[in-house]
Amino acid sequence: MVSAHPDRRRLAPARLASRDVARVDAAGLRTRPTRVLLSALGIAIGIAAMVAVVGISSSSSREELNRQLAALGTNMLTVSPGQTLEGQNAKLPAEAEAMIARIGPVTATSATGAIRSTRAYRSDKIPKVETNGLTVLAARVSLPRTVGATVRSGVWLNGVISRYPAAVLGSDTAARLGIGRPSPQTEILVDGARFTVIGVLNPVLLAPELDTAVLIGWDIATEAFRFDGRATTVYARSRDSQVEAVRAVLAATANPQTPGDVNVSRPSDILAASRAADDTLNGLLLGLGAVALLVGGVGVANTMVISVLERRAEIGLRRSLGATRGQIRVQFLTESLLLSALGGVGGVLLGVAVTTGYAAYQTWPAVVPAWATAGALAATLLIGGVAGLYPAIRAARLSPTEALATP
């Protein structure tokens, strides 16, 4: 007797190729173009904001600052008098500049000296109280090459001109006095004495105090205004590898008797602090972009939930024809990722366009870091995946009879 065994062959569900999944998902998006566009727009705005913030920051504060510091150097130190233990204003010794120049790693020195109670005016018609916040400084001939200053128009002081009533104006000083270009006929009044304007400086990045100054020769300052010859600011350049070592001995070298009365600073540190402040602001703006991206993700989730409700009949039909829960889940999850990717790519392109346009307007080098675009797209896919997970699970749980039932 031959026993019969029932056929135990198992039916395997048909597999959908990636191309078919993409085709089905694209068809689902094309049926609701307005809703898809608005949902993708929420993602695009967040991504564009984040890319633009990073791009503009890299183009301006980082690249421009790095380019300027590369040209000017970060090896300049400044020495100025502080306050005594009694709280009074201290003074640098007359030999402070010469003593600093003797430090081995120091490659260049220069100085300015404030001329007390001396004011500069455009003419004698200007009221004495309208000083425009300008200072009058005696300047060494070596000042421009030490601090990285450049002359916008005219000439700088030299060994001969420094003995005569000639002045060079900082960039802000020239603007406040209404002087565009120097000439032999252009004069200003310095404490009642007429000085010929021979030059105007460009803004000085590492010594911004010079921008609001009237700079005259050391010799004429001593002769005409009883200047005591003491420097109020000494600028020192050192070898790059020895900056911190020089900084440590500057105070004691400039004033061996009371080094505590001396202030030593590094202008490039101030610029770095300014960049750190910019980075903090950029972090805030990135946070706002992230909030916009999160709101866009909520919009995607809302769109997908509504899509599941509207396409119950489609889900029921597909389940009746043999589609598994996993295939339904993959369909809606992939649709969410496609929707998010559409917004992400649009946002990246918009952010790059904004960065490029703004950088071109400001004549900056346009820089959009690759990590910013890659990170933006990765964040988009992450948001899309999270936003589409619940709708996809909800669609997969629908049974064919439940999905096809009329509410």
Regarding whether 311 and 255 lie in a shared domain, the answer is no
Same domain, 254 and 289: no
From the centroid of its chain, how far is CA 130? 36
Looking at the fold, whether 140 and 32 belong to one and the same domain comes out as: no
Position 90 in a domain = yes
What does the pLDDT look like over 290-299, one tens digit per residue? 776 777 778 7
Q: Is the dihedral of CA 316, 322, 325, 331 positive or negative?
A: negative
Residue 42 pLDDT level (bands cut at 50, 70, 90) = confident
Please check whether residues 136 and 172 belong to one and the same domain: yes
Q: How much is the mean pLDDT over the chain?
A: 82
Tell me which of 376 and 353 has the higher pLDDT. 353
Question: For residue range 293-320, what is the model confidence (pLDDT) as tens digits?
Answer: 777 778 777 777 777 777 778 777 777 7
- pLDDT bracket for residue 241 (50, 70, 90): confident
Q: Examine the domain organization and report whether 61 and 106 are in the same domain.
A: no
Predicted local confidence at residue 303, as pLDDT:
77
Flag whether 82 is in a domain. yes
Measured between alpha carbons, how far is 339 from 37 in angstroms, rounded to an integer?
9
pLDDT, tens only, 72-115: 567 888 999 988 887 788 899 999 999 999 999 999 999 999 99
Q: Average of pLDDT values for 252-262?
A: 92
Question: Which of 319 and 201 is assigned the larger pLDDT?
Answer: 201
What pLDDT was estimated at residue 271?
54
Q: How many domains would you assign to the chain?
A: 2
Among 249, 196, 191, which Cα is nearest to 225's? 191
| Higher pLDDT, residue 37 or 69 | 37
Q: Say yes or no: 248 and 319 in one domain.
A: no
Please, are residues 145 and 172 in contact by the beta-carbon 8 Å criterion?
no
Would you state the pLDDT for residue 52?
82
- Indicate the residue among 266, 297, 316 that finishes a domain: 266
Please check whether residues 154 and 95 belong to one and the same domain: yes
Same domain, residue pair 169 and 40: no
Looking at 111-125, 128-142, 295-309, which range is the least confident one? 295-309
**Stretch 225-229: mean pLDDT:** 89
What mean pLDDT is predicted for residues 359-381?
82
Do residues 325 and 384 share a domain? Answer: yes
Residue 329 has pLDDT above 70, yes or no: yes
Q: Structure pTM?
A: 0.56
Which structural domain, as residue segments, surrounds residue 283? 18-68+273-404
- Give the per-residue pLDDT at 1: 46
Tell me which of 243, 266, 289 is where a domain ends: 266
202 with 90, same domain?
yes
> Is the same domain home to 109 and 257?
yes
Spell out a b/e string for 167-196, using b for 16 or more CB atoms within 10 Å of the CB, else e: bbbbbbbbebbebeebeeebbbbbeeeebb
User: CA torsion angle for 322, 326, 332, 333 (degrees, to 10)?
Assistant: -160
Per-residue pLDDT for 333 more than 90? Answer: no
Tokens of 356: 């490029």
Q: Is the pLDDT of residue 407 over 60?
A: no
Same domain, 259 and 305: no
pLDDT for residue 379 is more than 90: no
Examine residue 5 and state whether it is found in any structural domain, yes or no.
Answer: no
Question: Of the candidates 221, 244, 266, which is a domain's last residue?
Answer: 266
Evaluate whether residue 105 is within a structural domain.
yes
